[in-house]
Chains A and B, each alone.
Chain A
Amino acid sequence: MNKKTAWERMLLVREKDRPTIRDYIPLVFDEFWEMHGDRLYGDDGAILGGVATLEGRPVTVIAQVKGRTLEENKKSNFAMPHPEGYRKALRLMKQAEKFHRPVVCFIDTPGAFCGVEAEERGQGEAIARNLFEMMELRTPVLSIVLGEGGSGGALALGVADRVAMLENALYSVISPRGFASILWKDASREEEAANIMRITAEDLIGFGVAEDMIPEPQGGAHRDPESMAATLREYLKNTIFKFTELPIEKLLESRYDRFRKIGEFTASQPD
């Protein structure tokens, strides 16, 4: 079988029956208690968070919520969080830190919401604060990109000790459509943009942005959500608890270095 292009994967992750975090939670975790609100402003339906158990051990779960129906998508704003969503995520991460349990973030968003109220409530500050705090969070963090990882709105759940991508998932600085429209002034070149932007799991592993690719069932996760969930569960079991055994200072040092080394430049002699 030929390898899929980034564009083909993009169409696949946008399939309306692609499983969402709400499908995975009951299949991947043993128990789950959802928690609500950022304690500052409100409860953002685009971010789901709570405490789950995996093999009897507690983990904090934070995720962006895609819906499958219009009704679901209205509630979750098509997985585009407002500032209060990022602040709710941060509150739950701090809760995890307090109780020394690892954090698992599931990334699945076209991006942070762009709107008047999001600006009024400090979308930029909310994302920035998560990056700052996650880098120093004294408990392990694992991020898994389920479908779309769109821009800063994805990264705000992505400052992790390890990043994994489902086989067809994508992670990019801007949507291919936005890329084409800004750099080529032609949004209709979105397919071409997707294919040159280097946004697939394989690309990101090459850049050191992600470590692992989690295989999907033949034809994509929507063909067999249960087997996809079983694979995810296996991956989590084998990964997350390894980090809890590391001394925290060592963990933070390697988290910092993980991002510190990303960048491509040359250093010439000053004139």
Chain B
Amino acid sequence: MLQDLLQKVKIRAPSPLAKAAESVPLSIPKDLLFKCPRCQAVLSSEEFTAAGRVCPACGYHARLTAAQRLEETVDEGSFEEFDEGLESCNPIDFPGYGEKVAQLQAATGLREAVITGRCRIGGEAAVIVVMDSHFMMASMGSVVGEKITRAFEKAADEGLPVVAFTASGGARMQEGIVSLMQMAKTSGAVARHSRRGLLYITVLTDPTTGGVTASFASLGDIIIAEPKVLVGFAGRRVIEGTIRQRLPESFQSAEFLEEHGFVDMIVTRREMKETLSRLLAVHRGEGGACE
């Protein structure tokens, strides 16, 4: 029955029909449905979860929580978390910031927008960084910057590769200039890790934008992206406002970046773990080239 309904409402592009699609599922509570932000296809949450949170119509790889990502990526029982106790302060005393963080902590069960730690991926040892866009769009403030920096420093000390799943709205404006400086701090830590001849793989996930794109997310030796995800520096609406025209759906997609030479490969979620473990294996024991 639901299948029939979905057939009826599957719309491939934003069009006047999309409005009709929005009105059809009114009888079904909103959280039981997933509407693809890329192709507007609508399907049941069950079906969407069974598909690995990937849109079956267009292949868009939707956002995962950090816990879901870790479960999909690391070998069972291999994850040891770093620095889980770090929490934000309020460097510019921005009204309401502390409350907002507390609210999100309660809602997500996370302390902050990134989880870091040591793990194995298909048997290969690595330091892993996973950002979670459900926590304040994974914007980079002091805690995100510090945890990522420490993760790279620890990896450099232990001679381990780093795999970073990025997702972020950019700098955490509520922390003012202190958040901007996290871009330099994390990029510096990547540089030091790199100088040791160690591998850094970036996996760009939805959405990776702003100051994170303009720092460690663009600095991997190998840059992988999930299909159809949004990756860019400037916000689409900012650019549309400047040029006064609509941009195509493909603008700032993983495929757009690949076409322009900023992504090495686009890898589906189904193949991600195997790809990472093979790439880690290929680079195993090649560290220390520069020192």
Contacts and interface: CB of A to CB of B under 8 A. Distances in A.
A247 interface: no
A207 B91 contact: yes
B13 interface: no
A158 B91 contact: no
Given A119-B232, A122-B262, A173 B87 contact: no
Interface string A166-183: 000001111000010011
Residue in B188, B217, B219 with the greatest tally of chain A CB atoms within 10 Å: B188
A125 B90 CA distance: 29
A155 B94 contact: no
Size class of the contact patch on chain A: 35 or more
Contacts of A179: 173
Contact of A121 (B190, B238, B260): B260
Interface string B29-50: 0000000000000000000000
A120 interface: yes
A116 B234 CA distance: 9
Interface stretch (B127-135, B175-183, B272-280): B175-183
A166 B180 CA distance: 20
Interface string B183-224: 111011111101100000000000000110111111100000
A131 B91 contact: no
Contacts of A121: 260
Interface string A141-154: 00000000001100
Contacts of A151: 171, 180, 211
A159 B180 contact: no
B105 to A, nearest CB: 12
B239 interface: yes
Given A114-B233, A159-B188, A124 B88 contact: no
B185 A259 contact: yes
B77 interface: no
B142 to A, nearest CB: 4
Interface in A164-205: 171-174, 179, 182-183, 196-199, 203-204
A2 B233 CA distance: 39
Contacts of A207: 91, 177-178, 181
Given A114-B234, A136-B191, A173-B179, A264 B142 contact: yes
A139 to B, nearest CB: 15
A264 B234 contact: no
Interface in A91-136: 112, 114-116, 118-125, 127-129, 131-133, 135-136
Q: Per DSSP, are chain B's interface residues mostly helix, strand or loop, or mixed?
A: helix
A265 B142 contact: yes
A182 B173 contact: yes
Interface string B73-91: 0000000010111111111
A152 B214 contact: yes
Interface residues of B, number: 64
A194 to B, nearest CB: 12
Contacts of B194: 132
A256 B187 CA distance: 10
Contacts of A122: 218, 260-262
A32 B142 CA distance: 40
Nearest to A178: B173
Nearest to A268: B85
A119 B85 contact: no
A264 B91 contact: yes
A136 B187 CA distance: 10
Nearest to A199: B177
Given A115-B234, A119-B251, A270-B84, A256 B192 contact: yes
A171 B180 CA distance: 10
Contact of B214 (A116, A124, A183, A270): A124
A71 B57 CA distance: 50
Given A131-B188, A197-B92, A269 B85 contact: yes
Nearest to B145: A263
Contacts of B174: 183
A78 B215 CA distance: 24
A154 to B, nearest CB: 8
A128 B187 contact: yes
29 contacts: A114-B233, A115-B242, A122-B218, A124-B218, A125-B218, A128-B217, A131-B184, A131-B187, A132-B194, A136-B191, A151-B211, A156-B214, A158-B184, A159-B187, A196-B92, A196-B93, A197-B92, A198-B91, A198-B92, A199-B176, A207-B177, A207-B181, A256-B188, A262-B182, A263-B178, A263-B185, A264-B89, A264-B91, A269-B85
Among all A-B residue pairs, the 4 with the closest Cβ atoms = A124-B213, A114-B234, A131-B187, A263-B142
